[in-house]
Chains A and B, each alone.
Chain A
Amino acid sequence: MTDLLQLLVFGIVFGSILTLGAIGVSLIFGILRFAHFAHGDMMTVGAYFALVFVVQAGWPIYMALPAAMIGAAVLAILIDQSVYRRLRRTAPVILLISSFGMALLLRAAAQLIWGTDNQVYQPGINVPYVVFDIRIKPDHLVIVGASVILVFAFHLFLKMTRMGKAMRAMSDNVDLARVSGIDSERVVIWTWVIGGALAAAAGVLLALDTRLNPQLGWNVLLPIFAATIVGGIGRVYGAIAGGMFIGIATELSTAVLLPAYKPAVAFTLMVLVLILRPQGLVRGMN
């Protein structure tokens, strides 16, 4: 029992990270209609941005995180305006393939700039708290706390602001959004701001939980896609549920399976959901 609860803790931590990535993938799909394969590597680059602020500027992680988010948002806009924007009038599959190329490019750039070794934000041991035999590291609290704050802020943005509503409107019905006078290019730019910033946050938090290397984000792209699809692709609220579901399910699976099978578990759940509930687990929420 204690073991399962311990795994549940790990699952919630992993799920909070996946959620931040999945919201971006789902949002980008909702607005631009393509699966963004470079999302994992955007996470990686965002995590390295934070490393620069921590190591070079000596900032604490709670300052480096927002700075990295801003950096990744700017990077996402640059990528969109220089590459994706030119391909937007073609078929979505071309955008998908080009984002695959962008993924390779970002990863190679990260390797060139920061090297292939594992790195950490702060060396030393993160002494865990022990509650009823369950070990919770302070970093775990930071990860879940930061994720909850960001998801809540994103929720307020979607429900309360003019741009947030326009984003939901465009994701719901592109043609009607144009007809209503919504400037789709501005919505697209905001989509990248949010997608990029949340990807960076996911990357930083994942690097905090594990180690930072150029494969960081690419390694979790599959569970993030699984979370997106389980939640119903294009539905950002579904992505939150999907992220937690995949995170918890993959960690719990290690009670009976080798940890190496985690991506296979995520993939199997994704396929099962596609077969049994293709509209996603969460219904009617966009």
Chain B
Amino acid sequence: MTVVLKVADVRGGYGGADILNGTDLKLDEGEIVVIIGPNGAGKSTLMKAVFGLATIRSGSVSFFDRAITGMRADQVAKLGMSYVPQERNVFASLTVNENLEMGAYLRDDDFGPQIERIYELFPPLRERRRQQAGTLSGGERQMLAMGRALMLDPKLLLLDEPTAALSPRYAAETFERIREINALGITILMVEQNARQALEHADRGVVLVMGENRFEAPGPELLANREVAEMYLGG
């Protein structure tokens, strides 16, 4: 199995006290891995550290065996990794179509067909292509955020709480979409509060507490683990 992402003993945060205290993570090609854990465990920080948006004080991150520790976000994007932040994840004043164009900013070829593919994956976006992204509903906004991230045809997609602001119906739909995206051969790492549902759709779950890995197991196994269930899945 090819290792897509390897995080080894990473410590760091945003310049103050460390939020990550020796975090490890390994993603194999084609996997869906979900990170769960209590608030403040460093789940989002881990993603940001991988993507060059948080400071790594020690430890290493590699992407397809290439060291990317401390690399700038735009350079990480160039290597084939995309990231969807939890909040403010669309350009609100740009139209839907312009948001997708910005997702393809690094592409020099004709990305028209890729935009078509995104509209096929998320049909509601096509009707709203000329509308400002700020006027979209929460669900549509999440679709657009993922669509933007897919414009570069990434090998790895990082999703920070993709269902946080969504109703249960939209959340279920979003998980379906994530599986569809994964079926295209894109490895997925996501952080989720909606842990139970996310684990059902994941190959593997990682429990992060205080910036350290506490448990790691296939999704169903974590769901069945009593300790994890009691502490992190709400009983």
A interface, CB within 8 angstroms of B: 162, 165-166, 168-169, 172-173, 175-184, 284-286
Contact = CB atoms under 8 A, between A and B. Distances in A.
Contact of B91 (A162, A168, A181, A184): A168
B28 to A, nearest CB: 24
B88 A169 contact: no
Nearest to A237: B93
26 contacts: A165-B94, A166-B102, A168-B91, A168-B93, A169-B94, A169-B102, A172-B91, A172-B94, A176-B88, A177-B91, A179-B53, A179-B74, A179-B82, A180-B74, A180-B103, A180-B105, A180-B106, A180-B148, A181-B73, A181-B78, A181-B106, A181-B152, A182-B74, A183-B74, A284-B93, A284-B132
A172 B90 CA distance: 9
B63 interface: no
Interface in B112-163: 132, 134, 148, 152
Contacts of A166: 102, 105
Nearest to B103: A180
B218 interface: no
Contacts of B85: 175-176, 179
B73 A165 contact: no
B29 interface: no
Contact of B74 (A168, A172, A178, A285): A178
B91 A175 contact: no
Contacts of A178: 53, 72-74
A168 to B, nearest CB: 6
Given A166-B102, A172-B92, A175-B88, 5 more contacts: A165-B101, A172-B91, A181-B105, A181-B106, A182-B74
B73 A168 contact: no
Given A165-B94, A172-B94, A180 B88 contact: no
Nearest to A235: B93
B62 interface: no
A179 B51 contact: yes
A55 to B, nearest CB: 44
Nearest to B89: A176
Contacts of B92: 172-173
B74 A184 contact: yes
A282 to B, nearest CB: 12
A168 B91 CA distance: 9
A37 B130 CA distance: 37
B152 A175 contact: no
A179 B90 CA distance: 11
Contacts of A172: 91-94
Nearest to B77: A181
A73 to B, nearest CB: 23
Nearest to B133: A172
A165 B152 CA distance: 17
Name, among B102, B103, B134, the residue most crowded by chain A CB atoms within 10 Å (CB to CB). B102
A285 B135 CA distance: 12
Interface string B64-79: 0000000011100110
A169 B74 contact: no
A173 B88 contact: yes
Nearest to B73: A178
Contacts of B102: 165-166, 169, 177, 180, 182
B188 to A, nearest CB: 16
Given A179-B53, A181-B152, A173 B91 contact: yes
Given A162-B105, A165-B102, A176 B74 contact: no
B51 to A, nearest CB: 7
Contacts of B31: none
B127 to A, nearest CB: 20
Contacts of A169: 91, 94, 98, 102
B145 to A, nearest CB: 9
Contacts of A285: 93
A179 B74 CA distance: 6
A179 B73 contact: yes
Nearest to A159: B98
B91 A176 contact: yes
Which 3 residue pairs spanning A and B have beta carbons closest together?
A286-B93, A181-B77, A181-B106
B82 to A, nearest CB: 8
Contacts of B98: 165, 168-169
Contacts of B103: 180
A272 to B, nearest CB: 26
Name, among A166, A172, A184, the residue most crowded by chain B CB atoms within 10 Å (CB to CB). A172
Contacts of B51: 179
Nearest to B75: A181
A177 B93 CA distance: 13
